[in-house]
Amino acid sequence: MPRSRINGNFIDKTFSIVANILLRIIPTTSGEREAFTYYRDGMSAQSEGNYAEALQNYYEATRLEIDPYDRSYILYNIGLIHTSNGEHTKALEYYFRALERNPFLPQAFNNMAVICHYRGEQAIRQGDSEIAEAWSDQAAEYWKQAISLTPGNYIEAHNWLKVTGRFE
């Protein structure tokens, strides 16, 4: 039974009902509907912290989904899970893949910047200032892209760019 039918959360149930209505109204193929079901079940599992189940659903959704824009969100969510699991290299890979399909995902740029900043901080703790500077410069570039897409968001990143002299 699909997760969307067993989830007891009121908001998830409401979303599922609205999504099902839209899927009936908007012309879609059976593959698109199936991809969306896997994506929705992945989001539900992810919100409950069931990352293995979420990944299974997202991988299946990517197999079925042909629309690049929709695929970008699936790939982004896979990146989120890898970030949460501390698998930063995998997370970066999925954020890159999401951005290849949809270059207007400021949240992907932000998350990539956070990972780079974290790695820069790790390099500082290890006494490698050259590597730390390279990671910090990369974080700055990603934050600039996120901020350019959504001015007024990412205030802390904006302040960090100013404080570190990386804001132009």
Quick one: three-class SS letters along the chain?
Answer: CCHHHHCCCHHHHHHHHHHHHHHHHCCCCHHHHHHHHHHHHHHHHHHCCCHHHHHHHHHHHHHHCCCHHHHHHHHHHHHHHHHHCCCHHHHHHHHHHHHHHCCCCHHHHHHHHHHHHHHHHHHHHCCCHHHHHHHHHHHHHHHHHHHHHCCCCCHHHHHHHHHCCCCC
CA proximity to 36, closest of 12, 9, 8, 71 = 71
Model's pTM, two decimal places?
0.85
Instruction: Please report, as a single letter, which amino acid is at residue 42.
Output: G
- Ranked by mean pLDDT, the top range of 22-26, 31-35, 54-58, 163-167 is 54-58
pLDDT class of 33 with cuts at 50, 70, 90: confident
pLDDT class of 155 with cuts at 50, 70, 90: very high
pLDDT in tens, 53-95: 999 999 999 999 999 999 999 999 999 999 999 999 999 999 9
Question: What distance in Å separates the CA atoms of residue 91 and residue 56, rounded to the nearest whole number?
Answer: 16
For residue 122, give Cα distances in angstroms to 27, 44, 55, 81: 50, 33, 28, 21
**Range of lowest pLDDT (23-37, 62-76, 80-94, 103-117):** 23-37
What is the radius of gyration, based on Cα positions, of the chain? 18
